[in-house]
Chain A
Amino acid sequence: MKEIMIKCEGVHKEFRLRGNIIRALIDVNLEIEAGEFVMVQGPTGCGKTTLLNVMSGLDLPDEGSVILDGEDIARANEDRLSNIRRQKIGFVFQDFNLVENLTAIENVEALLWPTVLRTKEIEDRAIAALRAVDVLERKDHYPGDLSGGERQRVGMARAIIHQPRVLFGDEITGNLDPVSGRNVMELLKKLNKDLGTTMVIVTHDSNLVQYGDRVIKMDHGRVVR
Protein backbone atom coordinates (compact mmCIF):
# COMPACT_ATOMS: atom_id res chain seq x y z
CA MET A 1 0.00 0.00 0.00
CA LYS A 2 1.35 3.41 -0.98
CA GLU A 3 2.00 6.14 1.56
CA ILE A 4 -0.45 9.07 1.45
CA MET A 5 1.46 12.36 1.38
CA ILE A 6 -1.46 14.82 1.25
CA LYS A 7 -5.03 14.19 2.26
CA CYS A 8 -7.78 16.82 2.12
CA GLU A 9 -11.06 16.00 3.82
CA GLY A 10 -14.15 18.18 3.50
CA VAL A 11 -12.12 21.31 2.79
CA HIS A 12 -14.12 24.52 2.41
CA LYS A 13 -12.71 27.97 1.86
CA GLU A 14 -14.54 31.25 1.36
CA PHE A 15 -13.37 34.79 0.66
CA ARG A 16 -15.14 38.07 1.07
CA LEU A 17 -14.61 40.41 -1.85
CA ARG A 18 -16.37 43.79 -1.87
CA GLY A 19 -19.19 42.46 0.26
CA ASN A 20 -19.65 39.31 -1.82
CA ILE A 21 -18.81 35.86 -0.54
CA ILE A 22 -16.75 33.83 -2.98
CA ARG A 23 -16.70 30.10 -2.34
CA ALA A 24 -13.19 29.23 -3.50
CA LEU A 25 -13.20 25.61 -2.33
CA ILE A 26 -16.32 23.52 -1.82
CA ASP A 27 -16.08 20.17 -0.05
CA VAL A 28 -12.73 19.21 -1.52
CA ASN A 29 -11.69 15.63 -0.81
CA LEU A 30 -8.53 14.26 -2.34
CA GLU A 31 -5.48 12.13 -1.68
CA ILE A 32 -2.02 12.45 -3.19
CA GLU A 33 0.40 9.59 -2.78
CA ALA A 34 4.08 9.99 -1.92
CA GLY A 35 6.19 10.30 -5.06
CA GLU A 36 3.22 11.16 -7.26
CA PHE A 37 3.42 13.89 -9.91
CA VAL A 38 0.05 15.63 -9.82
CA MET A 39 -1.10 18.41 -12.08
CA VAL A 40 -3.97 20.59 -10.84
CA GLN A 41 -5.74 22.04 -13.80
CA GLY A 42 -8.73 24.24 -14.40
CA PRO A 43 -9.86 27.61 -15.72
CA THR A 44 -8.83 30.88 -14.10
CA GLY A 45 -10.70 31.46 -10.85
CA CYS A 46 -11.68 27.82 -10.34
CA GLY A 47 -9.87 27.62 -6.97
CA LYS A 48 -6.71 25.74 -7.93
CA THR A 49 -4.32 28.31 -6.41
CA THR A 50 -6.43 28.40 -3.25
CA LEU A 51 -6.20 24.62 -3.11
CA LEU A 52 -2.41 24.81 -3.47
CA ASN A 53 -2.22 27.45 -0.74
CA VAL A 54 -4.32 25.33 1.59
CA MET A 55 -2.40 22.13 0.86
CA SER A 56 0.92 23.89 1.50
CA GLY A 57 -0.16 25.58 4.73
CA LEU A 58 0.05 29.09 3.28
CA ASP A 59 -3.65 29.49 3.90
CA LEU A 60 -5.99 27.78 6.32
CA PRO A 61 -9.28 26.16 5.33
CA ASP A 62 -12.50 27.41 6.91
CA GLU A 63 -13.61 23.80 7.38
CA GLY A 64 -12.05 20.41 6.96
CA SER A 65 -8.62 18.99 7.49
CA VAL A 66 -5.41 18.92 5.47
CA ILE A 67 -3.04 16.13 6.43
CA LEU A 68 0.48 16.60 5.09
CA ASP A 69 2.89 13.78 5.77
CA GLY A 70 0.75 12.59 8.68
CA GLU A 71 0.27 16.02 10.32
CA ASP A 72 -2.89 18.14 10.24
CA ILE A 73 -1.52 21.46 9.04
CA ALA A 74 -4.93 23.14 9.25
CA ARG A 75 -4.48 23.16 13.02
CA ALA A 76 -0.81 24.06 13.23
CA ASN A 77 0.31 27.49 14.50
CA GLU A 78 2.34 29.89 12.36
CA ASP A 79 5.77 28.91 13.69
CA ARG A 80 5.01 25.22 13.24
CA LEU A 81 3.81 25.93 9.69
CA SER A 82 7.08 27.77 8.97
CA ASN A 83 9.04 24.77 10.21
CA ILE A 84 6.91 22.39 8.14
CA ARG A 85 7.54 24.54 5.07
CA ARG A 86 11.28 24.58 5.72
CA GLN A 87 11.55 20.85 6.37
CA LYS A 88 8.98 19.26 4.11
CA ILE A 89 7.87 21.70 1.41
CA GLY A 90 9.52 23.30 -1.58
CA PHE A 91 8.01 26.18 -3.53
CA VAL A 92 8.58 27.20 -7.10
CA PHE A 93 7.02 30.53 -7.98
CA GLN A 94 5.68 31.89 -11.24
CA ASP A 95 7.69 35.10 -10.74
CA PHE A 96 10.78 33.18 -9.54
CA ASN A 97 10.93 35.45 -6.44
CA LEU A 98 14.71 35.46 -6.20
CA VAL A 99 16.44 38.07 -4.04
CA GLU A 100 17.98 40.45 -6.56
CA ASN A 101 21.04 41.42 -4.51
CA LEU A 102 22.05 37.82 -3.81
CA THR A 103 23.86 35.62 -6.31
CA ALA A 104 22.28 32.44 -7.62
CA ILE A 105 24.09 30.26 -5.08
CA GLU A 106 23.29 32.65 -2.22
CA ASN A 107 19.62 32.56 -3.21
CA VAL A 108 19.71 28.79 -2.97
CA GLU A 109 21.66 28.79 0.30
CA ALA A 110 19.30 31.36 1.87
CA LEU A 111 16.77 28.69 2.75
CA LEU A 112 19.26 26.97 5.05
CA TRP A 113 20.84 30.05 6.62
CA PRO A 114 18.59 30.03 9.69
CA THR A 115 19.36 26.36 10.33
CA VAL A 116 22.14 24.87 12.46
CA LEU A 117 23.97 23.51 9.40
CA ARG A 118 27.57 24.56 8.88
CA THR A 119 28.38 27.05 6.11
CA LYS A 120 30.39 24.47 4.18
CA GLU A 121 27.57 21.94 4.25
CA ILE A 122 25.06 24.57 3.11
CA GLU A 123 27.39 25.50 0.24
CA ASP A 124 27.86 21.85 -0.75
CA ARG A 125 24.12 21.29 -0.75
CA ALA A 126 23.54 24.44 -2.82
CA ILE A 127 26.11 23.31 -5.38
CA ALA A 128 24.48 19.89 -5.58
CA ALA A 129 21.04 21.49 -6.04
CA LEU A 130 22.30 23.85 -8.74
CA ARG A 131 24.00 20.92 -10.47
CA ALA A 132 20.77 18.91 -10.34
CA VAL A 133 18.92 21.64 -12.21
CA ASP A 134 21.84 22.17 -14.60
CA VAL A 135 22.63 25.79 -13.79
CA LEU A 136 25.79 25.40 -11.70
CA GLU A 137 27.93 27.39 -14.13
CA ARG A 138 25.79 30.45 -13.36
CA LYS A 139 26.13 30.16 -9.58
CA ASP A 140 27.93 33.48 -9.11
CA HIS A 141 25.59 35.48 -11.31
CA TYR A 142 22.90 37.78 -9.97
CA PRO A 143 19.28 37.08 -10.95
CA GLY A 144 19.29 40.17 -13.18
CA ASP A 145 21.98 38.54 -15.34
CA LEU A 146 20.04 35.31 -15.82
CA SER A 147 17.43 34.41 -18.42
CA GLY A 148 13.88 33.52 -17.35
CA GLY A 149 14.58 29.80 -17.71
CA GLU A 150 17.77 30.05 -15.68
CA ARG A 151 16.03 32.05 -12.96
CA GLN A 152 13.35 29.41 -12.74
CA ARG A 153 16.04 26.73 -12.45
CA VAL A 154 17.66 28.65 -9.60
CA GLY A 155 14.21 28.86 -8.00
CA MET A 156 13.91 25.10 -8.39
CA ALA A 157 17.35 24.56 -6.86
CA ARG A 158 16.21 26.64 -3.88
CA ALA A 159 13.08 24.51 -3.67
CA ILE A 160 15.01 21.22 -3.51
CA ILE A 161 18.10 22.14 -1.46
CA HIS A 162 16.46 20.86 1.75
CA GLN A 163 15.20 17.71 0.00
CA PRO A 164 11.51 18.43 0.62
CA ARG A 165 8.90 15.73 0.65
CA VAL A 166 6.55 17.81 -1.50
CA LEU A 167 7.23 20.44 -4.12
CA PHE A 168 4.47 22.92 -4.97
CA GLY A 169 4.44 25.07 -8.08
CA ASP A 170 1.88 27.65 -9.12
CA GLU A 171 1.86 28.43 -12.85
CA ILE A 172 5.62 28.02 -12.88
CA THR A 173 5.88 28.18 -16.66
CA GLY A 174 3.62 31.25 -16.86
CA ASN A 175 6.53 33.65 -17.36
CA LEU A 176 8.60 31.42 -19.63
CA ASP A 177 8.66 30.91 -23.37
CA PRO A 178 7.30 27.53 -24.56
CA VAL A 179 10.76 25.93 -24.95
CA SER A 180 11.96 27.01 -21.48
CA GLY A 181 8.58 25.97 -20.07
CA ARG A 182 8.95 22.46 -21.50
CA ASN A 183 12.53 22.22 -20.21
CA VAL A 184 11.42 23.21 -16.71
CA MET A 185 8.62 20.63 -16.73
CA GLU A 186 10.98 17.91 -17.94
CA LEU A 187 13.40 18.84 -15.19
CA LEU A 188 10.62 18.58 -12.60
CA LYS A 189 9.73 15.17 -13.98
CA LYS A 190 13.37 14.11 -13.67
CA LEU A 191 13.58 15.37 -10.07
CA ASN A 192 10.37 13.52 -9.29
CA LYS A 193 11.89 10.33 -10.65
CA ASP A 194 15.39 10.73 -9.20
CA LEU A 195 14.54 12.12 -5.75
CA GLY A 196 11.05 10.71 -5.32
CA THR A 197 9.72 14.15 -4.42
CA THR A 198 5.93 14.47 -4.57
CA MET A 199 5.05 17.18 -7.10
CA VAL A 200 1.89 19.26 -7.06
CA ILE A 201 1.87 21.67 -9.97
CA VAL A 202 -0.96 24.08 -10.67
CA THR A 203 -1.51 25.16 -14.26
CA HIS A 204 -4.24 26.39 -16.55
CA ASP A 205 -2.21 25.24 -19.58
CA SER A 206 -3.69 22.00 -20.90
CA ASN A 207 -0.46 21.28 -22.83
CA LEU A 208 1.42 20.69 -19.58
CA VAL A 209 -0.89 18.09 -18.05
CA GLN A 210 0.91 15.33 -19.98
CA TYR A 211 3.81 15.61 -17.52
CA GLY A 212 1.69 14.51 -14.56
CA ASP A 213 0.99 10.96 -13.42
CA ARG A 214 -2.48 12.22 -12.60
CA VAL A 215 -4.54 15.32 -13.30
CA ILE A 216 -6.87 16.87 -10.73
CA LYS A 217 -9.41 18.96 -12.60
CA MET A 218 -11.15 21.78 -10.81
CA ASP A 219 -14.16 23.86 -11.66
CA HIS A 220 -16.01 26.42 -9.55
CA GLY A 221 -14.20 25.38 -6.37
CA ARG A 222 -14.89 21.68 -6.72
CA VAL A 223 -12.69 18.80 -7.76
CA VAL A 224 -14.47 17.47 -10.81
CA ARG A 225 -12.08 14.64 -11.68
Chain B
Amino acid sequence: MGAETFAPETVDAIVRKNGGTSANLILMLQDIQTEYRYLPHDALLYLSDKLNVPVARVYHVATFYKAFSLKPKGRHEFHVCMGTACHVRGSKLILDQIARELDLPPGGTSKDLKFSLDTVNCLGSCALGPLVVVDHEYVGHASLQKMKRIVANLKKKED
Protein backbone atom coordinates (compact mmCIF):
# COMPACT_ATOMS: atom_id res chain seq x y z
CA MET B 1 0.00 0.00 0.00
CA GLY B 2 1.09 3.52 -0.76
CA ALA B 3 2.69 6.17 1.36
CA GLU B 4 0.55 8.40 3.56
CA THR B 5 2.20 11.71 2.66
CA PHE B 6 1.74 13.34 -0.69
CA ALA B 7 4.67 13.41 -3.11
CA PRO B 8 4.54 15.67 -6.22
CA GLU B 9 6.49 13.12 -8.32
CA THR B 10 3.77 10.54 -7.78
CA VAL B 11 1.09 12.90 -9.04
CA ASP B 12 3.34 13.96 -11.93
CA ALA B 13 3.65 10.34 -13.01
CA ILE B 14 -0.11 9.83 -12.77
CA VAL B 15 -0.79 12.93 -14.85
CA ARG B 16 1.69 11.79 -17.48
CA LYS B 17 0.22 8.29 -17.59
CA ASN B 18 -3.22 9.75 -18.27
CA GLY B 19 -2.20 12.00 -21.13
CA GLY B 20 -2.01 15.22 -19.13
CA THR B 21 -5.46 16.43 -20.21
CA SER B 22 -8.20 17.54 -17.89
CA ALA B 23 -10.68 15.25 -19.71
CA ASN B 24 -8.94 12.43 -17.85
CA LEU B 25 -9.34 14.06 -14.45
CA ILE B 26 -11.50 11.20 -13.16
CA LEU B 27 -8.95 8.60 -14.21
CA MET B 28 -6.18 10.59 -12.49
CA LEU B 29 -8.18 10.86 -9.30
CA GLN B 30 -8.77 7.11 -9.42
CA ASP B 31 -5.05 6.50 -9.62
CA ILE B 32 -4.35 8.91 -6.77
CA GLN B 33 -7.03 7.19 -4.69
CA THR B 34 -5.42 3.80 -5.40
CA GLU B 35 -2.01 5.16 -4.44
CA TYR B 36 -2.97 6.80 -1.15
CA ARG B 37 -6.27 5.06 -0.35
CA TYR B 38 -7.79 8.55 -0.31
CA LEU B 39 -7.42 11.91 -2.04
CA PRO B 40 -5.00 14.06 -0.01
CA HIS B 41 -5.93 17.74 -0.04
CA ASP B 42 -2.41 18.76 -1.13
CA ALA B 43 -2.51 16.34 -4.04
CA LEU B 44 -5.76 17.90 -5.25
CA LEU B 45 -4.32 21.42 -5.03
CA TYR B 46 -1.25 20.29 -6.89
CA LEU B 47 -3.36 18.57 -9.55
CA SER B 48 -5.54 21.63 -10.00
CA ASP B 49 -2.44 23.73 -10.59
CA LYS B 50 -0.86 21.20 -12.87
CA LEU B 51 -3.93 20.76 -15.11
CA ASN B 52 -4.92 24.39 -14.92
CA VAL B 53 -8.36 23.40 -13.66
CA PRO B 54 -10.09 25.38 -10.87
CA VAL B 55 -9.79 23.77 -7.42
CA ALA B 56 -13.58 23.99 -7.19
CA ARG B 57 -13.98 21.74 -10.20
CA VAL B 58 -11.48 19.21 -8.87
CA TYR B 59 -13.44 19.12 -5.61
CA HIS B 60 -16.75 19.00 -7.47
CA VAL B 61 -15.60 15.82 -9.18
CA ALA B 62 -13.84 14.41 -6.12
CA THR B 63 -16.95 14.74 -3.97
CA PHE B 64 -19.43 13.70 -6.66
CA TYR B 65 -18.24 10.16 -7.26
CA LYS B 66 -18.53 7.35 -4.75
CA ALA B 67 -15.14 5.90 -5.64
CA PHE B 68 -13.37 8.84 -4.02
CA SER B 69 -12.74 9.56 -0.38
CA LEU B 70 -11.35 12.73 1.09
CA LYS B 71 -10.49 10.93 4.29
CA PRO B 72 -7.91 8.16 4.62
CA LYS B 73 -9.32 4.62 4.51
CA GLY B 74 -8.36 1.84 6.86
CA ARG B 75 -5.86 -0.90 6.11
CA HIS B 76 -8.65 -3.45 6.09
CA GLU B 77 -11.67 -2.49 4.03
CA PHE B 78 -15.11 -4.03 4.33
CA HIS B 79 -17.51 -3.40 1.47
CA VAL B 80 -20.98 -4.70 2.10
CA CYS B 81 -23.05 -5.14 -1.06
CA MET B 82 -26.43 -3.46 -0.70
CA GLY B 83 -27.72 -4.42 -4.14
CA THR B 84 -31.32 -5.53 -4.40
CA ALA B 85 -30.58 -9.24 -4.54
CA CYS B 86 -28.38 -9.02 -1.44
CA HIS B 87 -30.93 -6.75 0.20
CA VAL B 88 -33.77 -9.27 -0.07
CA ARG B 89 -31.41 -11.88 1.32
CA GLY B 90 -30.76 -9.82 4.43
CA SER B 91 -27.68 -7.67 3.78
CA LYS B 92 -28.89 -5.02 6.24
CA LEU B 93 -28.49 -7.43 9.16
CA ILE B 94 -25.02 -8.33 7.88
CA LEU B 95 -24.07 -4.64 7.70
CA ASP B 96 -25.36 -4.06 11.24
CA GLN B 97 -23.39 -7.04 12.47
CA ILE B 98 -20.09 -5.84 10.98
CA ALA B 99 -20.78 -2.31 12.24
CA ARG B 100 -21.33 -3.73 15.73
CA GLU B 101 -18.23 -5.93 15.64
CA LEU B 102 -15.98 -3.16 14.30
CA ASP B 103 -17.72 -0.48 16.35
CA LEU B 104 -17.91 1.68 13.23
CA PRO B 105 -20.84 3.26 11.43
CA PRO B 106 -21.20 2.51 7.70
CA GLY B 107 -18.84 4.88 5.89
CA GLY B 108 -16.60 5.08 8.93
CA THR B 109 -12.91 4.44 9.48
CA SER B 110 -11.40 3.54 12.82
CA LYS B 111 -9.18 6.16 14.48
CA ASP B 112 -6.16 3.87 14.31
CA LEU B 113 -6.76 3.48 10.53
CA LYS B 114 -7.04 -0.26 10.87
CA PHE B 115 -10.57 -0.73 9.54
CA SER B 116 -13.05 0.90 7.17
CA LEU B 117 -16.64 -0.08 6.63
CA ASP B 118 -18.46 0.93 3.46
CA THR B 119 -21.49 -0.09 1.49
CA VAL B 120 -21.54 -0.64 -2.25
CA ASN B 121 -24.58 -0.64 -4.50
CA CYS B 122 -24.13 -3.84 -6.44
CA LEU B 123 -21.12 -5.93 -7.31
CA GLY B 124 -22.99 -7.99 -9.85
CA SER B 125 -22.36 -11.29 -8.08
CA CYS B 126 -25.94 -11.70 -6.98
CA ALA B 127 -25.80 -15.49 -6.77
CA LEU B 128 -23.34 -15.13 -3.90
CA GLY B 129 -25.58 -12.84 -1.89
CA PRO B 130 -25.46 -11.60 0.72
CA LEU B 131 -21.98 -10.58 -0.34
CA VAL B 132 -19.21 -8.80 1.53
CA VAL B 133 -15.84 -7.89 0.05
CA VAL B 134 -13.12 -7.97 2.66
CA ASP B 135 -9.80 -6.58 1.44
CA HIS B 136 -10.77 -7.35 -2.20
CA GLU B 137 -11.68 -10.98 -1.37
CA TYR B 138 -15.30 -11.95 -2.03
CA VAL B 139 -17.06 -13.49 0.94
CA GLY B 140 -20.20 -15.01 -0.53
CA HIS B 141 -23.29 -16.25 1.32
CA ALA B 142 -22.22 -14.13 4.25
CA SER B 143 -23.83 -15.04 7.54
CA LEU B 144 -23.80 -13.17 10.81
CA GLN B 145 -21.52 -15.73 12.45
CA LYS B 146 -19.17 -15.87 9.45
CA MET B 147 -18.67 -12.10 9.60
CA LYS B 148 -18.10 -12.21 13.34
CA ARG B 149 -15.30 -14.75 12.81
CA ILE B 150 -13.71 -12.77 9.97
CA VAL B 151 -13.66 -9.56 12.03
CA ALA B 152 -12.22 -11.41 15.02
CA ASN B 153 -9.46 -12.96 12.89
CA LEU B 154 -8.48 -9.63 11.36
CA LYS B 155 -8.46 -7.97 14.76
CA LYS B 156 -6.19 -10.69 16.08
CA LYS B 157 -3.86 -10.19 13.13
CA GLU B 158 -3.69 -6.47 13.78
CA ASP B 159 -2.84 -6.82 17.48
Asked if chains A and B come from one complex, the reply is: no
